[in-house]
Amino acid sequence: MQNSGSEQMQGKKLTPSAIAGYLDQYVVGQDEAKKVLSVAVYSHYRKQGRQRLGDVEVAKSNILLIGPTGTGKTLLCETLSRVARVPFVTANATSLAQSKYVNEEIEALLLRLLEKAGGDVAKAQRGIVFIDEIDKLKASEGEQRGTSGERVQHALLKIMEGAPVRLGSAQTIDTTNILFICAGAFVGLEDITAASHAFGFISVDKHDDQQILDRLNSRVKPTDLFKFGLIPEFAGRLPIIANLQNLSKELLVKIMVEPRNSIYNQFREAFREEGVELHIELAAFQQIAEMAFEYKVGARSLRGIFEEMLTPVMFLVPDHPEIRRVVIKSLFEEPSLITLS
Ligand SMILES: Nc1ncnc2c1ncn2[C@@H]1O[C@H](COP(=O)(O)OP(=O)(O)O)[C@@H](O)[C@H]1O
Ligand SMILES: [Mg+2]
């Protein structure tokens, strides 16, 4: 059994680096997004109980995660929800857009937040709401105004700006201090951003750090999101944007091997239960990563290729208790089955 995140972190001070360290155990790479998320969640805790710093109102900083499909957006937020010490709920924008009753769906979401808070309204009001696949709410060109996606944006905008929402049970939740994290692949946004940065910062001093310049130049601007199809007020409510990167072949290999619940660990465990030691060599993982990389769906295709490789052995092993060890060196070689001599 896996420890739940909060159990594992109990008693520890949840600094940004501690949160990022927890994320590292499950999510490979994506350091920028990890930093942004852990700083935001930390600041969100810190604000609890003191909504004002002296006379300075601490505005909340909702986050938008942008990155290609299968690079870990959903995984990052699921993992974050296990360490967050505030109530955390998830919604999917695609299903919100398909619903006829968006406001009811949003109420149900807040009700779940209240349940996670054990019925404590004050606690729920400082929770975190994660909305996945937010890019599916875009108003596409040629469509009439008031499409379902746009309607959902308006409905979400209301709670992101902060509004009292009446829940069925006559309870009211004020959403002003709820932190919103949104994520989406935003296919096509890169071209918009590239075009809008035609006149980017240009290094004028040889001491300028090219990496920093590149980063500033690739920043997604609210106007880019507007061109993509988010209404300006909605984009404006997501001031912090973090980018997830395409996963390299090296990172794809790491994903199969390193996380606590990696595919490799899961299958080793399943084989161990049959009394068999499973050993897969690096070259085989590299071949799988190579194939997955070509499919261009991030880490999504790893499991399928991996399982396909193991299926013949998984078919054999239960009938052969004498098999003690399975070694796979390459996708193009039969696995070695080592039996009790
Ligand atoms: N950076 C990563 N580290 C570890 N696993 C990952 C990573 N990115 C994707 N995966 C794996 O790929 C699958 C799809 O990832 P997901 O987070 O759903 O992608 P998306 O960015 O499209 O939301 C998940 O099952 C996850 O295990
Ligand atoms: Mg996702």
From CA 50, how far away is CA 37, in angstroms rounded?
A: 21
Same-domain check for residues 180 and 286: no
Number of domains in the chain: 2
- Select from 200, 215, 243 the last residue of a domain: 243
pLDDT of residue 119: 93
**What's the CATH code of the domain at 123?**
3.40.50.300
- From the CA of 243, which ligand is nearest? 1
User: Considering only CA atoms, which of 87, 168, 81 is closest in space to residue 123?
Assistant: 87
Same-domain check for residues 206 and 61: yes
User: Consecutive sets of 10 residues in the chain, 341 residues long: mean pLDDT of each?
Assistant: 53 87 96 95 78 58 95 96 92 91 92 95 94 90 68 93 86 94 94 74 65 70 90 92 95 97 96 96 97 95 96 94 95 92 69
Same-domain check for residues 169 and 297: no
Same-domain check for residues 210 and 272: no
pLDDT of residue 3: 47
Same-domain check for residues 87 and 218: yes
Same-domain check for residues 108 and 155: yes
pLDDT of residue 207: 66
pLDDT of residue 242: 94
Same-domain check for residues 230 and 286: no
Same-domain check for residues 229 and 275: no
- Select from 243, 273, 293 the last residue of a domain: 243
Residue 35, SS3 per DSSP: helix
Neighbours of 49 (CB within 10 A): 8
pLDDT of residue 57: 57
The three-point CA angle 291-292-295 to 5° equals 95
pLDDT of residue 199: 58
What residues have CB less than 8 Å from 48, skipping those under 6 apart? Answer: 86, 126
Give, using CA atoms, the residue closest to atom 13 of ligand 1: 300
- 219: DSSP letter: P
Amino acid at 16: P
Give the Å distance between the CA of 287 and the centre of ligand 2: 25
Same-domain check for residues 134 and 177: yes
Please name the residue that has the structure tokens 């194939």: 291
Same-domain check for residues 180 and 255: no
Give the Å distance between the CA of 153 and the centre of ligand 1: 26
Same-domain check for residues 86 and 158: yes
pLDDT of residue 290: 97
Pocket lining: 71 vs ligand 1, CB cutoff 6 Å: yes
Q: How far is CA 278 from CA 251, 267, 285, in A?
A: 22, 8, 14
* Structure tokens belonging to residue 130: 């994660």
State which residues form the domain around 126. 5-243
Give, using CA atoms, the residue closest to atom 20 of ligand 1: 70
Pocket lining: 259 vs ligand 1, CB cutoff 6 Å: yes
Same-domain check for residues 314 and 263: yes
Give the DSSP letter string of 95-118: HHHH-S-HHHHHHHHHHHHHHHTT
Which parts of 200-339 fold into alpha helices (H)?
210-217, 222-228, 232-236, 249-257, 263-272, 282-295, 302-316
- Select from 243, 278, 302 the last residue of a domain: 243
Q: Are 231 and 157 in contact (CB under 8 A)?
A: yes
**What's the CATH code of the domain at 332?**
1.10.8.60
Amino acid at 272: R
